[in-house]
């Protein structure tokens, strides 16, 4: 029986050699070729990129040879590159879209297939539904050989960096960062973002030290290449030992960012999102709506009220956030996972650009990250957050879903539930706090999220939810 290929919040992901095989990648590619033909855009060609995972280059070559077998020109990246860099090349080449071989932040034994349509952002639900149908209905795979396709001009390798870096220079005052005397430590997490920040901000009084800046598909020393506190112990210890003014980290395909302050404290992704919004609204004097995933911070709503801009709450995933950003010409969009997008760029998360905005904020204000966070809290009040990921037996999912929907939680940790909604999973709203229970769209995990005014209340809310659900 053929593997069922389904796209979650951002692409199809599966275990390498179990479901993520060359045969299934070729079948997925044939469905994509058929979809492009049906849409009448196959003649524009397809950008093909990949990350640093095991066999990612070879899987990308499979995509390219299937496109060539269908008479579709494939622009194949000459090396591993961040997802936002590959996505930007869709616009540069005026292509029909991009196929990117990456499993983003998933553990080392996973790989994935992302499709970015011609607007260079995450595919909408409507597009992924059509793409899944095309894959299900695809006939025999039509595939050319790599060498023959190159000779025929149907596979063209390209350098993905120049157009992207040109755009970065338009958005960021790089000289101000280079000359700010910052001491920056970067954890590339063995991923596709290695080398980008040192290349962009070196050359002045600012110094950059990069760790894990080489390819190692095993991602040693971390559960998965996700820039969250427990995966950044080396970076955190490096900063605590003295020296760096800030630590930045990017996930496996560099569409997410993590930030560590000058004291070695991991700044939560909710704080980073709010910091970036504050910088754009106050320091840069820009105006425009903010688009947030439902698991993002209440601080954004307070900033929206303070600066007179709308705040749109969406389901988790840039397949929802990106299109809304385009609809309302939003200033910024983002989600709790650490992925942020900005007006004037692509409607796509960009960990490199996000990190540069943090550095520009520091350079322009002369303040370290801890002071920037305090400035944020001065405007919004103190907010603390945590997310707990819980593995569960798939056979137990129905029971958990029934408990999640039952409405039985009317009080958690002594706090009364004031309202609930089902924008994504189950959200319970309290006085100045919230709790969300939802299943991951990319991994077999139950996620419990909470934000409150005191860190101990955050843990109490998550503990209460876990106890109620029996997980």
Instruction: State the Cα–Cα distance between residues 375 and 402, nearest whole angstrom.
Output: 42
Residue 406 pLDDT class (50, 70, 90 cuts): confident
Residue 35 has pLDDT above 80, yes or no: yes
Compute the CA torsion angle 28, 33, 35, 38 (nearest 10 deg).
-160
Residue 87 has pLDDT above 80, yes or no: yes
* pLDDT for the residue 102: 98
Residue 8 has pLDDT above 90, yes or no: no
Instruction: State the Cα–Cα distance between residues 113 and 107, nearest whole angstrom.
Output: 15
Average pLDDT of the segment spanning 406-428:
89
Provide the pairing of β-strand 74-77 with 155-158: parallel
Average pLDDT of the segment spanning 365-375:
97
Average pLDDT of the segment spanning 218-222:
95
Instruction: State the Cα–Cα distance between residues 464 and 372, nearest whole angstrom.
Output: 32
- Select from 264, 259, 305, 309 the least CA-distant residue to 286: 309
pLDDT, one tens digit per residue, over 238-262 is 999 988 999 999 999 999 999 999 9
Provide the pairing of β-strand 340-342 with 433-439: unpaired
Residue 444 pLDDT class (50, 70, 90 cuts): confident
* pLDDT for the residue 10: 86
Provide the pairing of β-strand 257-260 with 246-250: antiparallel
Instruction: State the Cα–Cα distance between residues 390 and 385, nearest whole angstrom.
Output: 17
Find out whether 39 and 136 touch, Cβ atoms under 8 Å.
Answer: no
Instruction: State the Cα–Cα distance between residues 85 and 99, nearest whole angstrom.
Output: 12
Residue 9 has pLDDT above 90, yes or no: no
Residue 429 has pLDDT above 80, yes or no: yes
Average pLDDT of the segment spanning 47-61:
98
Residue 441 has pLDDT above 80, yes or no: no
Residue 112 has pLDDT above 80, yes or no: yes
* pLDDT for the residue 75: 98
Average pLDDT, rounded, for the chain: 95
* pLDDT for the residue 33: 98
Structure tokens at 186: 């970067």
Instruction: State the Cα–Cα distance between residues 5 and 28, nearest whole angstrom.
Output: 7
* pLDDT for the residue 69: 98
Domains and CATH numbers, the chain: 12-160 (3.40.120.10), 172-380 (3.40.120.10), 384-469 (3.30.310.50)
Residue 70 has pLDDT above 80, yes or no: yes
Q: What separation in angstroms does the CA of 77 have from each of 10, 165, 266, 432? A: 20, 15, 33, 47
pLDDT, one tens digit per residue, over 257-277 is 999 999 999 999 999 999 999
Q: Which residues pair with 430 in a beta bridge?
A: 433
Sheet holding 384-391, edge to edge: 384-391, 445-452, 433-439, 426-430, 419-421
Residue 212 has pLDDT above 80, yes or no: yes
* pLDDT for the residue 62: 98
Residue 58 has pLDDT above 80, yes or no: yes
Long-range contacts of residues 20-24, Cβ cutoff 8 Å, at least 24 apart: 20/59, 20/110, 20/111, 20/112, 22/58, 22/59, 22/62
Beta carbons within 8 Å of 232's beta carbon, 6+ residues apart: 187, 247, 249, 258, 260, 266
Beta carbons within 8 Å of 119's beta carbon, 6+ residues apart: 90, 326, 346, 347
* pLDDT for the residue 199: 97
Provide the pairing of β-strand 332-334 with 340-342: antiparallel
Beta carbons within 8 Å of 184's beta carbon, 6+ residues apart: 197, 201, 206, 207, 208, 209, 244, 245, 246, 247, 248, 359
Average pLDDT of the segment spanning 75-100:
98
In this structure, the chain runs to a length of 471
Residue 22 pLDDT class (50, 70, 90 cuts): very high
Find out whether 184 and 248 touch, Cβ atoms under 8 Å.
Answer: yes
């Amino acid at each position: 029986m053929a593997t069922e290929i389904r796209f979650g919040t951002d692409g199809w992901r599966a275990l390498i050699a179990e479901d993520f095989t060359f045969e299934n990648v070729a079948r997925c590619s044939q469905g994509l070729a058929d979809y492009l033909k049906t849409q009448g855009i196959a003649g524009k060609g397809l950008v093909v990129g990949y990350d640093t995972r095991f066999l990612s280059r070879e899987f990308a070559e499979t995509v390219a040879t299937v496109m060539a077998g269908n008479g579709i020109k494939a622009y194949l990246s000459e090396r591993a590159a961040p997802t936002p860099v590959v996505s930007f090349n869709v616009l540069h080449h005026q292509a029909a879209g991009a196929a990117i071989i990456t499993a983003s932040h998933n553990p080392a034994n996973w790989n994935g297939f992302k499709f970015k349509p011609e607007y260079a952002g995450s595919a909408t639900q409507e597009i992924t539904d059509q793409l899944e149908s095309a894959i299900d209905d695809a006939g025999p795979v039509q595939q050319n050989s790599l060498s023959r396709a190159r000779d025929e001009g149907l596979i063209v390798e390209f350098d993905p960096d120049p157009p992207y870096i040109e755009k970065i220079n338009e958005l960021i005052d790089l000289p101000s960062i280079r000359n700010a005397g910052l001491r920056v430590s970067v954890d590339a997490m063995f991923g596709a973002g290695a080398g980008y920040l040192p290349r962009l901000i070196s050359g002045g009084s600012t110094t950059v030290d990069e760790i894990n800046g080489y390819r190692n598909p095993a991602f040693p020393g971390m559960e998965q290449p996700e820039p969250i506190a427990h995966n950044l112990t080396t970076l955190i210890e490096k900063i605590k030992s003295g020296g760096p003014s800030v630590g930045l980290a990017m996930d496996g395909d560099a569409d997410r960012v993590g930030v560590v302050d000058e004291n070695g404290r991991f700044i939560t992704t909710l704080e980073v999102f709010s910091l970036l919004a504050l910088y754009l609204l106050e320091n840069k004097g820009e105006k425009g709506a903010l688009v947030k995933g439902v698991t993002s911070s209440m601080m954004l709503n307070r900033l929206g009220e303070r600066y007179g801009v709308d705040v749109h709450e969406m389901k988790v995933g840039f397949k929802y956030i990106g299109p809304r950003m385009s609809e309302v010409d939003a200033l910024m969009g983002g989600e709790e996972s650490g992925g942020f997008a900005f007006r004037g760029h692509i409607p796509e998360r960009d960990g490199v650009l996000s990190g540069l905005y943090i550095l520009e904020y520091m350079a322009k204000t002369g303040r370290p990250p801890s002071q920037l966070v305090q400035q944020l809290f001065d405007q919004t009040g103190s907010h603390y957050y945590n997310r707990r990921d819980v593995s569960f037996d798939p056979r137990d999912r129905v029971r958990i879903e029934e408990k999640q929907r039952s409405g039985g939680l009317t009080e958690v940790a002594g706090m009364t539930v004031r309202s609930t909604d089902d924008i994504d999973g189950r959200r319970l709203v309290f006085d100045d706090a919230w709790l969300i229970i939802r299943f991951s769209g990319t991994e077999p995990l139950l996620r419990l999220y909470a934000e409150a005014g005191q860190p101990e209340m955050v843990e109490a809310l998550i503990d209460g939810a876990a106890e109620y659900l029996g997980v």
